[in-house]
Amino acid sequence: MRRNLLKLLALICISVCMMTGASNIGNACADVQGGFSYEHFGALHREGTVEITGYIENDTELIVPEKIDGYTVCGIGFRTFENCKNLKSIALPSTVEFIEVRAFSGCSNLESIKFSSKLERLMSLQQSKEY
């Protein structure tokens, strides 16, 4: 009985993670610095790097720093800047290697994104009017 209960609990946890887009449970450590939320994963990314996962300010022009709290910014996560309606331009540092799906979804006033030629993976740069 207890074994079946543990299996059911594990299945529920996996289902919730899949529905919410959560991943890397147990490996991620979320922090906030300068309006950015970020996660560092260790084994999943290079040691000493972070992925930006959110932004809570209302800037119209934004320059993402190369380092946050001493960690090198290597990526922009899923829905990081979603619905930042005031955001008109953003400059990403040369350290950013990937941009995840819907990172800029809902940024209806976004006119320009400056990124480095070192960008290796671009999942999408879509605005809310496309959805």
Summarize pLDDT for 38-89 with one digit per residue, the tens: 988 654 567 889 999 999 888 999 999 999 989 999 999 999 999 999 999 9
| 87-102 per-position pLDDT tens digit | 999 999 999 999 998 9
3-state secondary structure the chain: CHHHHHHHHHHHHHHHHHHHCCCCCCCCEEEEECCEEEEECCCCCCCCEEEEEEECCCCCEEECCCEECCEEEEEECCCCCCCCCCCCEEECCCCCCEECCCCCCCCCCCCEEECCCCCCEECCCCCHHHC
pLDDT at 47: 81
Full-model pTM = 0.68
